[in-house]
């Protein structure tokens, strides 16, 4: 069997897209939503792939770093364009810190609004 579980968090922040030709090159904000997913094929002795609490805690730390900020001024987005795709990749990279023997981060989806999202996956 394959198992996949996910946790969702949200935050608000502003950004502008460098080198973008259009409205999004101007300063603007979003109410972002992030969904982080882990996968595995083996559960631990309690029947858990990875504790939801661990994912929630770590994802909340990442969200707190991004929340109510001008993303273009914080690392790594001071050097990397703060697109939904790059935010998703950033979050995925940070979630690798809590991977276990049984559970690996497999996907992060970032919505900039209720209609538009970007997904990065392993």
Active-site positions read: 24, 68, 112
Helix (H) or strand (E) holding 78: none
Cα distances (Å, whole numbers) of residue 48 to 28, 35, 95: 41, 19, 18
**Residue 99, C-beta contacts closer than 8 angstroms, at least 6 positions apart:** 38, 105
- 15 annotated ligand binder: yes
Calpha distance 122→115 (Å, rounded)? 23
- 30 annotated ligand binder: yes
- 58 annotated ligand binder: no
From the annotation, which residues make up the binding site for Zn(2+)? 15, 28, 30
Residues within the annotated binding site?
15, 28, 30
């Amino acid at each position: 069997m394959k198992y996949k579980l996910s946790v969702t968090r949200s935050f608000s922040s502003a950004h502008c897209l460098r080198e973008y030709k259009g409205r999004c090159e101007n300063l603007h904000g979003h109410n972002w939503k992030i969904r982080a997913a882990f996968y595995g094929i083996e559960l631990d002795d309690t029947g858990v792939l990875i504790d939801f609490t661990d994912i929630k805690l770590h994802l909340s730390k990442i969200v707190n770093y991004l929340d109510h900020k001008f993303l273009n001024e914080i690392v790594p987005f001071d050097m990397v364009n703060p697109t939904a795709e790059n935010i998703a990749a950033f979050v995925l990279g940070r979630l690798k810190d809590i991977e276990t023997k049984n559970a690996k981060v497999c996907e992060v989806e970032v919505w900039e609004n209720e209609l538009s999202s970007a997904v990065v996956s392993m």
